[in-house]
Amino acid sequence: MQDIKAIRKIIEELSELKQRRRFPLHELAEMFHVDEKTISRWLKMENLPRPVYIPMIKKLIEIDKEKKL
């Protein structure tokens, strides 16, 4: 399992991406097939995503970075 610090960093990047791209919670929830409340809890660091979601979040962040190049 990944270290909690690394997961928190990934969530911070997801939060920045959400703000920058102005993703509504429901769109992120649809992308990850979770409830909007789940995304909200992740972004507030109330809960951390289960390990299965980490690669998906990383991929979304990676795609966003590639689009900026």
Closest CA to 23 of 58, 60, 50: 60
Question: What is the per-residue pLDDT for 67?
Answer: 83
Give how far Cα 69 sits from Cα of 11, 13, 47, 64, 65, Å.
22, 17, 32, 9, 7
**How far, in Å, CA of 18 to CA of 49, rounded?**
16
Q: What is the mean pLDDT of each run of 10 residues along the chain (69 residues)?
A: 87 96 96 97 96 96 86
CATH number 1.10.260 given to 4-68: yes
Residue 69 has which token pair? 């190049």
Q: Show me where the domains of the chain are located.
A: 4-68
Alpha carbons 57 and 62: distance in angstroms, whole number = 9
